[in-house]
Structure 1
Amino acid sequence: MTELESIKLLEGSLQIVFVRLPVDSNLTTQSIFQEMLALAIPENCHKDLSNNLHKILNYYPLYQLDSNTYPCLAEQTELFLQHNQLNAHKIFVQGDMTTLLALVAGGNAVAFIPQSMRQFLPVKVKLLTPEQNNIQWEIVMTWNSKINNDYRDNFIKIVNAHN
C-alpha cells in the first residue's frame, strides 16, 4: 500500500482500496484471496522447453514493468528468481499489464504477472503457474472503519455476499 493511499484512507478522501498486506494498523482489513506469480509465455513457445522455467528464462528475455509504477510485482518477481536460483535477461517496459501481455503475445519474451490476470490473457499468450517455491501474497480490502460511509459499507456487503 502506498503512503498516499494510507493517508487518503485515514483522512476519508478515499473510502476503500484493494492492496496486498501489510497495511497501516489504524485501518480495517478483510482478506479477499491469496495471489501468486505466474509466467506469461507466448502461445507458440518452443515445445523443447517443456515448461521448464530455467530453460524458458534462458531462451526468452524477461519483460518487467517499471518498478516505480509496479513495485510489488517487481519485488515478487525478484523474490521468485532468488528463491529458485534463476537468472533472467530483463527488459524493462513502460506501460501497464495490458501492454506487458501484448508484448508477450508478440512472441519475443516472457513476463511474470499475478495469476489472477489469467482472465485477461490475449489469444497468443498462455500462463504457467510454477510449482516450486512460488511466491504468494494476500490481497485485502482495507478501509477506515472510524469514518462512517454507507456506500462503502454496502459495497463491502456486496463483496462478502459474492465471496
Structure 2
Amino acid sequence: MKVNQKYLRSIEVLARVKNFRIASQILCISQPALSKQIKNFEDAYEIEMFIRDNQGVTLSEAGKLVIDEITALNRHLQKTDEFIASISRNNLTPLSIAFGKSSNDFLPVLIREFQKSHDKILISLADICSQEQEEQLLSGALDIGFMRKPISQTLNSIPVSKDEFVLAVSKNQYIDDNIDDYLQKYNLLMMSNHSKSQINLHTMDLLKDRTYKITNISADLQTIITLILSNTGVAILPKKSILGIYDAIQLIPFQENTQWDIHMVWHPGSPARSVALFVDHVKNELSKPGCQREDGQRF
C-alpha cells in the first residue's frame, strides 16, 4: 500500500494554502521535509500533484482529480482516530454476553434499550449453558452471563428473572396434567451425558420415585423439541425454552417447586467500562416499577 497518512495531510494543506512556507509552518515541519514528502508521493504514484512557479504552487490537472478523495480520506482517518481514542479513554470495549434459553424473553429488550444510549458499544451474543458461562467468565473470555447463580465466589451476580421445569408434551398426545401417566406411557427424551448442560441433573432429581423409560438421547435442545413435535416422546425442559415459541407443545407444570433464579453474572475485576455501563443499565431497569410482572417475576 503506497498511501502514507502524513503525505496525504501535507498534500491537503499545501493544496489549500498554495505556499510551501506557510504549509510547512502549519504542519510544523521544514520546507525541505515537506518538499520531500510531496516528491515521494508523486514518485510512488507516478503522478504530478502540483505545478510550481514563482507565485507558489497550484494543483495540476491530475491533482484536481484526486484532491477531493484525499481530503475525504483525511477526514475519515481523523474520525477513526478520534473514535479509537475515545474507546481507549473510556474503555468502551465490545461486550461479550452469553445466555441460556431461559433468557430469551427478556434479554433482547435489555440489549435494545441499552444500545439506544450506547450505540457505539458492539455486542456479541452466544447461547451457552451455565457451566460453560461460569468457566468463560472466570477466564476472562466472557464479559457478562445470564445463567444460574454461579458457584464461584469470585463472580458478582444479581437475580433478574426466574424459570421452572415443566413436562413438554405434543398437543397430539396431551390428555390431562398427570405427569406420571406420560412418563410411563411415552419415551422420555434426554440430553446426552457429554453435554455440560445441567438439565439432565435436574431432570434426574425430578424423576426420583417415578417410573419412566429413556430410549432417546439427543445432543441438543432443538433436536429434543423436534422429537416432541413428531410425537416421539416427552421431555422435562425449562419452560421459557418453549413458551410462546412452539404452539403445538403442551407445557405441564410439576406439583413440586421446580423454579430457579436466572442471574446476571460478571467478574468484578473486569476493567472494561462497557461492562460497568451494562450492569448499571440492568440494575436501573430492575428498579423500575413496570419491570415486575403479574407472576412476580422481574422480567
Gaps of 5+ in 1: none
Equivalent in the alignment of 1:101: 225
Amino acid paired to 2:272: N
Amino acid paired to 2:149: L
How much has 1:51 moved relative to structure 2? 1.6
Gaps of 5+ in 2: 1-129, 292-299
Equivalent in the alignment of 1:52: 178
Amino acid paired to 1:66: S
Which one of the candidate residues 213, 220, 225 is aligned to 1:89? Answer: 213
Q: Which has the higher helix share?
A: 2
Equivalent in the alignment of 1:26: 154
Amino acid paired to 1:86: R
The range that moved more, 70-79 or 10-19, is 10-19
Higher-RCO chain (CA-CA 8 Å, sequence separation at least 6): 1
Aligned: 1:156 with 2:279: yes
The Cα offsets for residues 54-93 of structure 1, whole Å up to 9 and x where unpaired, read as: 11111111001113214410011011111xx212101342
TM-score normalized with structure 2 length: 0.48
* Identity in percent: 22
Equivalent in the alignment of 1:62: 188
After superposition, the Cα gap between the structure-2 partners of 1:11 and 1:96, relative to the gap in structure 1 and judged at 3 Å, is: closer
Q: Which has the higher strand share?
A: 1
2:150–2:157 CA contact under 8 A, matched in 1: no
Aligned counterparts of 2:196 and 2:269: Cα–Cα separation in 1:
30
After superposition, the Cα gap between the structure-2 partners of 1:119 and 1:158, relative to the gap in structure 1 and judged at 3 Å, is: farther
How much has 1:159 moved relative to structure 2? 3.1
How much has 1:110 moved relative to structure 2? 0.3
After superposition, the Cα gap between the structure-2 partners of 1:32 and 1:68, relative to the gap in structure 1 and judged at 3 Å, is: farther
Aligned: 1:13 with 2:141: yes
Aligned counterparts of 1:7 and 1:41: Cα–Cα separation in 2:
33
Aligned counterparts of 2:218 and 2:182: Cα–Cα separation in 1:
23
Larger radius of gyration: 2
Equivalent in the alignment of 2:203: 77
Cα RMSD, aligned residues only:
2.2
How much has 1:18 moved relative to structure 2? 1.9
After superposition, the Cα gap between the structure-2 partners of 1:142 and 1:111, relative to the gap in structure 1 and judged at 3 Å, is: same
2:229–2:249 CA contact under 8 A, matched in 1: yes
How much has 1:11 moved relative to structure 2? 4.1
TM-score normalized with structure 1 length: 0.83
How much has 1:127 moved relative to structure 2? 0.9
How much has 1:43 moved relative to structure 2? 0.8
Amino acid paired to 1:36: E
After superposition, the Cα gap between the structure-2 partners of 1:81 and 1:54, relative to the gap in structure 1 and judged at 3 Å, is: same
Aligned counterparts of 2:242 and 2:218: Cα–Cα separation in 1:
21
Equivalent in the alignment of 1:38: 166
After superposition, the Cα gap between the structure-2 partners of 1:115 and 1:6, relative to the gap in structure 1 and judged at 3 Å, is: closer
Amino acid paired to 1:149: A
